[in-house]
């Protein structure tokens, strides 16, 4: 066996050892966050594994949804996030309504008046909690709610 052959063999072994070390590093980098999540009593939400609570449990078939609607005679119109909370963000509008409902009738009434000032159409603004059958609602967005409970209402400002 010549010197060139020995150098080539050593070079291949060095590359092989480096590849093994790099591969083990990648495996550890991927596995450690998962192991940390499994071993902690209360794992937090974070990169790269999300334990975000909205995916943590089955919400059931019936969904209660706080929202704001415009009632005009027989017609009920769901208002946009812009009219509800002055934003184009659906979650921010939903959180605003949820907080108003949790705050009670006075807080819901204040939100109702704010929304009524933005509507500029005839009718009655209502802060409500709707109950929807999730399966029906996901297939037919115009499906009527199982029931609608009014928390506050006020006249819209045309």
pLDDT per position as a tens digit, 124-136: 999 999 999 988 8
Domain boundary among 57, 84, 99: 57
This prediction's pTM:
0.64
Distance CA 146, CA 137 (A): 10
Tell me what the mean pLDDT of segment 13-39 comes to.
80
> Are residues 107 and 145 both part of a single domain?
yes
Residues 147 and 102 in one domain: yes
- Domain holding 28, by residue range, is 1-57
Question: pLDDT at position 141, please?
Answer: 73
Nearest in space to 106 (alpha carbons), one of 75, 44, 152, 39 = 152
The better pLDDT of the pair 122, 52 is held by 122
Looking at the structure, do residues 17 and 64 belong to the same domain, yes or no?
A: no
Give me the mean pLDDT over the 26-34 stretch: 78
- Which residue, of 57, 82, 97, is where some domain finishes? 57
Q: What string of DSSP letters covers 84-121?
A: HHSSS-HHHHHHHHHHHHHT-HHHHHHHHHHHHHHH-S
Eight-class DSSP state of 55? G
The chain-wide mean pLDDT, for the chain, equals 84
Same domain for 75 and 87?
A: yes
Cis preceding-peptide flag for 157 (omega within 30 of 0): no
Confidence of residue 110 (pLDDT cuts 50, 70, 90): very high
Specify whether 29 is located in the same domain as 107: no
Question: For the chain, how many structural domains are there in total?
Answer: 2
């Amino acid at each position: 066996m010549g010197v060139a052959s020995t150098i080539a063999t050593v070079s291949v072994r060095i590359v092989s050892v480096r590849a093994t070390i790099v591969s083990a590093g990648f495996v550890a980098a991927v596995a450690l966050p998962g192991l940390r999540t499994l071993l902690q009593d209360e794992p937090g939400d974070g990169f790269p594994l999300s334990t975000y609570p909205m995916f943590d449990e089955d919400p059931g078939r019936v969904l209660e949804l706080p929202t704001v609607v415009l009632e005009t005679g027989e017609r009920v119109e769901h208002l946009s996030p812009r009219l509800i909370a002055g934003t184009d963000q659906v979650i921010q509008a939903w959180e605003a309504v949820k907080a108003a409902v949790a705050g009670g009738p006075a807080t819901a009434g204040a939100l109702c008046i704010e929304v009524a000032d933005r509507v500029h159409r005839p009718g009655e603004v209502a802060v409500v909690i709707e109950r929807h059958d999730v399966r029906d609602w996901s297939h037919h967005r115009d499906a009527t709610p199982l029931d609608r409970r009014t928390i506050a209402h006020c006249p819209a400002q045309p």
